[in-house]
Chain A
Amino acid sequence: AQSVSQHNHHVILSEAASLELGCNYSYGGTVNLFWYVQYPGQHLQLLLKYFSGDPLVKGIKGFEAEFIKSKFSFNLRKPSVQWSDTAEYFCAVKNKAAGNKLTFGGGTRVLVKP
């Protein structure tokens, strides 16, 4: 079965610092990759997605992610975070071999100090 690993459970950083969140998945082949974000008190929202083409994907709010097939990774980055980026971030993977089921990682809580 597909599994998704997010290496950091908690990240604390100051405003203007750069952010990188790791995500690795277990199964190769054709995959669709997603990052969802959950701001405090809000529901899960799509941040960005990859399904084909340029492995560097740009999402909302200045976020981007890079798909590296050889490393089974889809790391999320933002060059300069703001206090409003405080949230929980979830990586998710979907692939045909797993019945197109969307499998989530355990999430990373990010706290941005003003």
Chain B
Amino acid sequence: EAGVAQSPRYKIIEKRQSVAFWCNPISGHATLYWYQQILGQGPKLLIQFQNNGVVDDSQLPKDRFSAERLKGVDSTLKIQPAKLEDSAVYLCASSPLGTRDVSGANVLTFGAGSRLTVL
């Protein structure tokens, strides 16, 4: 089975510029997640979609971050304008099941990540 695809792998921008990341989850996976991983820290959930609806975006800085999953398949995460503290790896993950169960079978599969450096 193909994994979670992300692009670009690396991006360097100056502060106040904008950037977009793309994610294509595993085929058939209903749930898609965007995580932010700052160097030396664990991944932090930014937003969670189930199909094309937002389930949780409580930790998304909505003044500058936006994400969409229009057709319930691939997703984009945008940052505009970027700040220095946005430098991080942006991880996309997907899982086959919905969010209503606490089954351990609902395991997330992660992509390789997009590393953003803001200068």
Contact = CB atoms under 8 A, between A and B. Distances in A.
Interface residues of B, number: 29
Nearest to A50: B104
A37 B93 CA distance: 15
B107 A34 contact: yes
A52 interface: yes
A4 B42 contact: yes
Interface string A88-101: 00101011100111
Given A32-B102, A44-B91, A104 B107 contact: no
A41 to B, nearest CB: 9
Contacts of A18: none
A51 B99 contact: no
Q: Interface majority SS on B: helix, strand, loop or mixed?
A: loop
A69 to B, nearest CB: 15
A26 B4 CA distance: 30
Interface in B18-65: 33, 35, 40-45, 48, 55-56
Interface in A80-114: 90, 92, 94-96, 99-107
Given A43-B112, A44-B91, A99-B56, A104 B104 contact: no
Contact of B43 (A31, A32, A44, A49): A44
A57 B103 CA distance: 16
A14 interface: no
Interface of B: 3, 33, 35, 40-45, 48, 55-56, 91, 93, 99-113
